[in-house]
């Protein structure tokens, strides 16, 4: 399935999910309730910059309060194995994103991941 097909199937009444260079962030309504959406699209190699941007969106969800669920959509090539990403701490960036999602869960934000394309290694975790 393509990203558009997935989004249209999940959110037939529309959504406010922006695409930024292969990253997804926004929200939609599902069953009458708001759902925050983050993700990786177009088989984007997942690097430190992407991990920190998505972590920021998760922290924004937590800051808004309520118990807004978080949907994570994944279609990634793998983690980016560049020297820059490794020197900037890709492993720590991925860990930070994972910890933000755990923090969201502990704060009452249910999280679900949907693998709709391809992924491997650290990008999937």
Question: Within a domain: residue 97?
Answer: yes
Task: Answer whether residue 125 is part of any domain.
Answer: no
pLDDT along the chain (125 residues), means of 10: 93 95 95 95 90 97 96 87 88 94 97 83 56
Q: Supply the pLDDT for residue 123.
A: 54
What domain count does the chain have?
Answer: 1
121 lies in some domain: no
Quick check: is 12 in a domain? yes
Output DSSP code: residue 22. Answer: T
- Are 125 and 113 in contact by the 8 Å Cβ rule? The answer is no
Please tell me the predicted confidence (pLDDT) of residue 51: 94
4: buried, middle or exposed (CB in 10 Å: 19+, 13-18, 0-12)? exposed
Q: What is the CATH number of the domain that holds 13?
A: 3.90.226.10
pLDDT value for 55: 98
User: Is there a domain that residue 62 lies in?
Assistant: yes
Does a structural domain hold residue 54?
Answer: yes
Task: Give the per-residue pLDDT at 79.
Answer: 78
Instruction: Identify which of 16, 21, 96, 5 has the alpha carbon closest to the alpha carbon of residue 55.
Output: 96
The 10s digit of each residue's pLDDT in 95-113 is: 999 999 999 999 999 999 9
pTM reported for the whole predicted model: 0.90
């Amino acid at each position: 399935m393509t990203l558009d097909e997935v989004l249209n199937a999940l959110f037939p009444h529309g959504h406010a999910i922006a695409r930024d260079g292969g990253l997804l962030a926004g929200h939609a309504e599902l069953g009458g309730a708001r759902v925050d959406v983050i993700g990786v699209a177009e088989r984007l190699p997942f690097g430190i910059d992407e991990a920190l941007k998505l972590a920021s969106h998760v922290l924004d969800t937590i800051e808004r309060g309520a118990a807004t669920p978080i949907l994570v959509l994944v279609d990634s090539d793998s983690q980016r194995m560049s020297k820059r990403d490794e020197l900037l701490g890709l492993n720590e960036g991925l860990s930070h994103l994972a910890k933000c999602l755990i923090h969201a869960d502990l704060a009452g934000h249910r999280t679900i991941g949907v693998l709709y394309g391809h992924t491997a290694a650290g990008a999937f975790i």
